[in-house]
A and B are shown apart, each in its own frame.
Chain A
Amino acid sequence: QKEVEQNSGPLSVPEGAIASLNCTYSDRGSQSFFWYRQYSGKSPELIMFIYSNGDKEDGRFTAQLNKASQYVSLLIRDSQPSDSATYLCAVKRYRGSYIPTFGRGTSLIVHP
């Protein structure tokens, strides 16, 4: 089992719809969870992070964490074509210190 798993996609949604991106992780001791967006040929940029079970909202983005089920999701409301990118999930796992591990990312395509 991979440490951080994401469906590579692509996930295709129409403009204005809700995009739902999911990530599962294997280490129950993982502490903090991050979502990054990466446009083609660019570097990852942080969207948001979450530590506690439940939802965290920031504008059109909502991160959801369920530690019991070991998954974290990202919802994008009112999706726009400019949201088309790869979304990377990162988890901090304890290996002596808390070390970030990334999933392979999910490609999102928002079509007009």
Chain B
Amino acid sequence: EAGVAQSPRYKIIEKRQSVAFWCNPISGHATLYWYQQILGQGPKLLIQFQNNGVVDDSQLPKDRFSAERLKGVDSTLKIQPAKLEDSAVYLCASSLSGQEAFFGQGTRLTVV
């Protein structure tokens, strides 16, 4: 069974630029999560989808972050414009049952 796929693996951008991350969850997994993990901290949930509907986005900085999950499969997370404090690993995870989650390899973003 293929795991959660994310791309790119690494991205370096200048502040005020925009960036997008892509996630393909495990086939059949209805629940998809985007997390932000800053070095030394635990993952922080940005947005949770159930199929193509948003379950929770209370911690998503909506003035600069957006996410979508068209057709209930792939998802993209966008940051525009990026700030220095957005430097982090962005993790995508998916779940079949809505309980245990399986993580992708993550995208390491550096904003300079």
Contacts and interface: CB of A to CB of B under 8 A. Distances in A.
A20 B16 CA distance: 44
Interface stretch (A10-18, A40-48, A55-63, A66-74): A40-48
A103 B42 contact: yes
A88 B100 contact: no
Contact of B42 (A45, A49, A99, A102): A102
Q: In terms of DSSP, what is the predominant structure of the interface of chain B?
A: loop
Contacts of A80: none
B72 interface: no
Contacts of B101: 46, 100
25 contacts: A8-B40, A32-B99, A34-B100, A43-B91, A43-B104, A44-B103, A46-B102, A49-B99, A49-B100, A88-B43, A90-B42, A92-B99, A95-B56, A96-B55, A97-B56, A99-B45, A99-B56, A100-B48, A101-B45, A102-B35, A102-B42, A102-B43, A102-B44, A103-B42, A104-B42
Interface residues of A, number: 25
Interface in B18-41: 33, 35, 40-41
Contacts of B55: 96-97, 99
Find the residue from A44, A90, A103 having the highest chain B CB count within 10 A.
Answer: A44
Interface string A71-112: 000000000000000001010100111111111110000000
Nearest to A86: B42
B104 to A, nearest CB: 6
B104 A104 contact: no
A74 B38 CA distance: 24
Nearest to B106: A43
B103 A45 contact: yes
Nearest to A47: B100
A105 B91 CA distance: 16
